[in-house]
Structure 1
Amino acid sequence: MPNFQTSDGISLYYEDEGDGLPILCLSGLTRNSRDFDYVAPHLAGARLIRMDYRGRGLSDHADPATYAVPVEARDAVELLDHLGVDRVGVLGTSRGGMIAMVMGATVPDRLRGVALNDVGPEIETGGLSAIMGYLGKNPPFATFDEAAKARLDLPQFPGVPLERWRKDVTHTATETPEGLKINYDPRLRDAVAAVMEAPSPDLWPLFDTLADLPVAVIRGMNSDLLSAGAVERMCQRHPGMIVAEVPNRGHIPFLDEPESLAALRSWMEAMA
């Protein structure tokens, strides 16, 4: 398996596939490289670079104090250095979008553009509460099949077929004789809880560092994390931003929806 070692000695898993426009794919908080399995077949002409954050997926666990957006942004830059890639477009899902904005503030010369999947500089508290409801806990299911069937009842995702949920539940858990187990460090919950107890930082200055770059935002119309009002304010500060509203999706769109793909293709054309 391809791994590289960070400056503080953590072994991180990554994938590097395809040729053409380099796109760094950064996943959600508890998720990993598999987040982009659905969209990858549709992004012909791109070099997709994926990374499992420290403590997630196939990467090493680390000191939970380092499960932080600035550290994960540093890890992403070190991966680019490891691969000898100077500039990339960043496709950031949720947590990955926050990392992309930090990169815009700290290493703007490394960015060609940023696509934000259901995240922005304003985060709805309801969405954060929902995340804390499951973060660091093993799913209450005995099997993948049981977990997939339960997701059929999610009101934010009407009409998603069972086979999609059956695949999705395998991304962040493993099946064991004792039931499903999360495949990330449960201490991630402590790191996130500590951040939530602190005063909320103003993320708008981070978003504003992307002003001169091609930017896209993809929002699930049923999202409880990114509001339509926040997207409107993002457009006011970044005229010309590419926007996709994806029906029948909450947090997060899968990225292979027609609306998502149209936005991503326009974004890639703008970076070419």
Structure 2
Amino acid sequence: MTEAASLSPAVLASKRDIVWTSHDGLKLYAADYGPQDSQVTVLCMHGLTRNHKDFEPMIQGLGMNMRFVSVDVRGRGKSDRDPSGKSYAPPVYVQDMAALIAHLNLDELILVGTSMGGLMAMLMAKAFPDKIKGIIINDVGPEVNPAGLKRIAGYAGGNETFDSWGDAAAAIGRTQAGVYPEYGEEAWMEFARRTCVERSDGKIGFDYDPVIVQGMGSTSPGWRVNFAMWRVFSALKSIPLLIIRGETSDILTEKTAKRMLRRHKTSKLLTVPERGHTPFLDEPVSLHTIGKFLTKLSQPAS
């Protein structure tokens, strides 16, 4: 935890809605927390099958007097699905983020990107570095371990439905137990509530377009994104960087994380114990490290 006072749950309950329009006409959603007049905005971008609610435990746990904007990337959560299914790719997502930044007239950003969101952060650093004061990359790097992609492809079909929230929580617990080994029934229910939605027929389903995971685990370049573009990562060299890795991650290997450290001379690496892919960022060690990083970057230049 940071030294700031704990954020009241009421702050999450009173979150503000942001809706903006993409270049191709989709209505996209983000949630807005904290003071809108904050000089620095923390822009949070989730992983492949998640949504803006992924960051609520972190925001509440940090308890910082900063503005946090957490997005639903197209095809997830409250954002529109692409009827063609052809635009689900990180370069398009970055276009959407650029439109959001323009919509909110933001000039000073700290990016927090989990997995796919971390790749987006790398691309954004290359596209508009002058707006970015710092980046937190959560459990992803310029190279991705194929074994991890294969594991995710094994359960992320998106079409599965459940008769009850309890069934959904139990199913998620079966697939994610190795990532969060200490989670119990209550934690899995909270996980389900963040990642699933009740449908019109009363069934519980995952809150994303199933099309986004098509091709996972194959050699298709549409889904086997080439994370080996280290020259993209090099665009971060002048931007403060915190790398977070789950101790047992099968996406960001220890070897790749150490190479990132060598390439970015001022970066820091946090390895979160007893976490796979991905840390939720509400772990005490994550909150402490992220809090210090954000506090330092939000201080006015002397």
TM-score by length of 2: 0.83
The one of 69, 72, 91 aligned to 1:49: 69
Q: Is residue 2 of structure 1 aligned with residue 44 of structure 2?
A: no
User: Equivalent residue of 2:275, what SS?
Assistant: coil
Indicate if the aligned counterparts of 1:15 and 1:50 stay in contact, CA closer than 8 A. Answer: yes
CA distance in 2, matches of 1:270, 1:205: 27
CA distance in 2, matches of 1:210, 1:243: 15
- 267 and 79 in structure 1: CA distance in 2 versus 1, 3 angstrom threshold: same
Indicate if the aligned counterparts of 1:242 and 1:263 stay in contact, CA closer than 8 A. Answer: no
Per the alignment, residue 10 of structure 2 pairs with none
Per the alignment, residue 85 of structure 1 pairs with 106
Indicate if the aligned counterparts of 1:68 and 1:191 stay in contact, CA closer than 8 A. Answer: no
Alignment coverage as a number of residue pairs? 272
Per the alignment, residue 31 of structure 1 pairs with 50
Per the alignment, residue 254 of structure 1 pairs with 280
AA aligned opposite 2:195: T
CA distance in 1, matches of 2:189, 2:284: 21
Per the alignment, residue 188 of structure 1 pairs with 212
Per the alignment, residue 81 of structure 2 pairs with 61
AA aligned opposite 2:23: S
User: Equivalent residue of 2:70, what SS?
Assistant: strand
CA distance in 1, matches of 2:258, 2:30: 34
Indicate if the aligned counterparts of 2:161 and 2:206 stay in contact, CA closer than 8 A. Answer: no
Structure 1 residue 190 displacement after superposition:
3.0
Structure 1 residue 87 displacement after superposition:
2.3
Query: 1:182-209 deviations in whole A, cap 9, x for unaligned?
Result: 2211111237564357783533111111
AA aligned opposite 1:159: E
User: Equivalent residue of 1:66, what SS?
Assistant: coil
CA distance in 1, matches of 2:24, 2:171: 40
User: Equivalent residue of 1:122, what SS?
Assistant: coil
CA distance in 1, matches of 2:171, 2:88: 29
Per the alignment, residue 256 of structure 2 pairs with 230
**Unmatched segments (≥5 aa) in structure 1:** none
CA distance in 2, matches of 1:134, 1:155: 13
CA distance in 2, matches of 1:9, 1:254: 32
Indicate if the aligned counterparts of 1:11 and 1:60 stay in contact, CA closer than 8 A. Answer: yes
- 61 and 149 in structure 1: CA distance in 2 versus 1, 3 angstrom threshold: closer
Per the alignment, residue 200 of structure 1 pairs with 226
AA aligned opposite 2:18: P
Structure 1 residue 91 displacement after superposition:
0.3
CA distance in 2, matches of 1:119, 1:92: 9
Structure 1 residue 152 displacement after superposition:
4.6
CA distance in 2, matches of 1:203, 1:145: 42
Q: Calculate percent identity across the aligned residue pairs.
A: 35
Q: Is residue 169 of structure 1 aligned with residue 189 of structure 2?
A: no
CA distance in 2, matches of 1:180, 1:195: 31
CA distance in 1, matches of 2:170, 2:213: 26
Structure 1 residue 254 displacement after superposition:
1.1
- 199 and 151 in structure 1: CA distance in 2 versus 1, 3 angstrom threshold: closer
Q: Is residue 269 of structure 1 aligned with residue 289 of structure 2?
A: no
Query: 1:45-65 deviations in whole A, cap 9, x for unaligned?
Result: 221011111111001111321
User: Equivalent residue of 1:14, what SS?
Assistant: strand
- 178 and 17 in structure 1: CA distance in 2 versus 1, 3 angstrom threshold: closer
Per the alignment, residue 156 of structure 2 pairs with 135
CA distance in 1, matches of 2:266, 2:18: 38
Indicate if the aligned counterparts of 1:243 and 1:263 stay in contact, CA closer than 8 A. Answer: no
- Aligned pairs for 1:105-144 within 5 A: 105-139=126-160, 141-144=162-165
Indicate if the aligned counterparts of 2:165 and 2:192 stay in contact, CA closer than 8 A. Answer: yes
